[in-house]
Amino acid sequence: MYIEHFGLTGQPFQLTPDARFWFESRTHRKAMAYLGYGLAQGEGFIVITGEIGAGKSTLVAHLLATIDRARLNAISLVSTQVEGDDMLRLTAQGLGIATGGVEKARLLDAVEQRLEEEVRAGKRTLLIVDEAQNLPVSALEELRMLSNFQIAGKALLQVVLLGQPEFRDKIGSPGLEQLRQRVIALHHLEAMAADEVEAYVRHRLAIVGWMGQPVFSPAAFAALHVHSGGIPRRLNQLANRLMLHAAVEALDTIEAEAVEAVAADIGTDSPAAAAEPAPVRQREPEPAAAPKREPERVLPLRGARPQAVAEPANEQSSEPSSPAVAFADPALLRRIAALEARLEEQEASLRHVLALLVDWVENPEAAYRTHAA
């Protein structure tokens, strides 16, 4: 209804992941950096965790939309409540191998042969497994065994595991030490900060032809953050109902009162939603755990440290009545602004380096000739 009312070309706040609506929040930008670093290594496991609705599936959709399919064969598995043998069969089916009535030993041989064929054709194989927190130990061990396949010292299969926060505890259990040692990149998707909600909403609306109607007040954006907790899926659900409310009520401007009314209608518990990002912040240091075992692979962590510097500014903007009066000092504010500018430069440099790493790993001879020239 509101699509026609506001002259939009499509649904801006759908819950189904769509790569067209990719929004590079700070945490998603970090996640892409970790993915880029991990893919450049061409082996092991990349682990991305996040709360329900934090944008893990959208991250994968964006990755699949941007990779070169001529060089990377990506297989995505969603049904993960399976034991080890079934995980092997799902992987084989993703590779186009018939699995009916085939015993495990022969199936393993067929998978290895197919992976070798992909390498000879100039392709690497990436297996993406969603909802990894539901995987039993046997399935995770099967994935680890598959990651052992190699030819001429190069891994034939690389695995990306997506899961909810409890998956980090799972891979930390004593029975998965061997798999844990193969994790080369690890990142936890945080909730969006208050200062990112406006850009997120405007971005999604612009993709479907939004011409500025209805207008959102600054207080409305603040209320959207409070009631969604900065979780993208919750924000989509709330914004979708808010747009419908604006159409029904013929609103030209959406104020905080409208957000409050819609949030009450859908039963959003604002104190709980606002408090949920806090536990995520406590997990921030954890991504360093895996790279610490391999000092040469700590490159992605450079993009994570400055976040702690920028965080107080975000808190100040979302909580004006906060007792952190020290941030009223102009000199300190200038220093924070300088640090944020330096962070942007570092992140841009990091993305450039990651792109070079991918090219070097996948085509070292061409990269050498370019460097020599």
97-124 confidence digits (pLDDT tens): 999 889 999 999 999 999 999 999 999 9
For the chain, give the longest Cα–Cα distance. Answer: 72
Who's near 196: CB < 8 A, 6+ residues apart?
Answer: 25, 26, 230
- Residues 171, 181: Cα–Cα separation, whole Å: 10
pLDDT of residue 364 exceeding 60 = no
235-275 confidence digits (pLDDT tens): 999 999 999 999 999 999 999 999 999 999 988 444 444 44
What local confidence, expressed as pLDDT, does residue 303 receive? 34
The strand pairing partners of 216, in sequence order, are 254
Mean pLDDT check: name the lowest of 22-26, 102-106, 195-199, 269-273: 269-273
- Residues 359, 39: Cα–Cα separation, whole Å: 10
Contact 9, 54 (CB under 8 A): no
The strand pairing partners of 187, in sequence order, are 48
Q: Where are the alpha helices (DSSP H) in 249-288?
A: 256-265, 270-275, 277-282
What local confidence, expressed as pLDDT, does residue 345 receive? 66
Looking up tokens 């092991």 gives: 44
- Tokens read off for 124: 């690497």
Q: Which of 60, 86, 283, 68 shows the shortest CA–CA distance to 162? A: 60
Who's near 149: CB < 8 A, 6+ residues apart?
Answer: 111, 112, 115, 155, 156, 157
Angle at 73 between CA 72 and CA 76, to 5 degrees: 125
From residue 366, alpha-carbon distances to 120, 147, 330 in Å are 18, 27, 50
